[in-house]
Amino acid sequence: MHKEKLTWILLCTRNAVSCYSLFPLLYEAQEYPIKVLLLLLHTILMWFSFSAQYSGSLRGDKEGGEKQGFEVGWVTKSYLMGVVVVEIWGQFLHPYLFGDKLPFVPLMLISMYCAIGILYSWIWQLKSILISFWLHFLLSLHYFSIFHSKYIHRQDHCWTG
């Protein structure tokens, strides 16, 4: 997959997770439909606007045999499914199993799960930047050594005084 597509997928996922991480701030029951609707609307609009960066992504066209839409990897799919599990736990299972006891646990679980996902995405992006930097640095050293060997230390241009 192209590096730029991976970066867009990562940014789209990070953006959705960072919006979801704000859910504990709106913990009242009457706020739940509004925050879910806004999160879904924001995520869908962001997904389509990011995928519009690629000309055939919305039509499913192929260019050079490569699929143009977003291809989410298994790590990202697993993480996003985990977000659904965390939300089901916080909204349905925790109140059913614990009642009014430990009301902070679902909020803390959302915050910790989102923190892990955002930290993973920042580490992935830092790794990508460092690898790109080192590749460019090593290539520049390689080209410098070629230049140096061809033009500076030529054996056929020995001048003796």
Instruction: Give the model's pLDDT for residue 57.
Output: 44
The per-residue pLDDT for range 25-35, each reduced to its tens digit, is 888 888 889 98
pLDDT 10s digits, 60-119: 445 555 555 556 778 888 988 999 999 999 889 999 999 889 989 999 999 999 999 999
Q: Which residues contact 138 (CB under 8 A, 6 or more apart)?
A: none
| pLDDT (tens digit per residue) in 18-57 | 888 888 888 888 888 998 898 899 888 887 877 777 545 4
The reported pLDDT for the residue numbered 2 is 62
Q: Which residue has the higher pLDDT, 103 or 7?
A: 103
Q: Percentage of residues in the chain with pLDDT exceeding 70?
A: 72
The answer to whether 16 touches 46, Cβ cutoff 8 Å, is: yes
Q: How far is CA 135 from CA 96, 125, 129, in A?
A: 54, 15, 10
Pair 48, 30: CB distance under 8 Å: no
CA pair distance 21, 141, nearest whole angstrom? 44
Confidence grade of residue 11 (pLDDT, cut at 50, 70, 90) = confident
pTM for the model: 0.68
What pLDDT is stored for residue 71 in this prediction?
67
Own/partner contacts of 28-35, CB < 8 Å, gap of 24 or more, are 32/91
Identify the pLDDT of residue 88: 93
Residue 113: its pLDDT value, please? 93
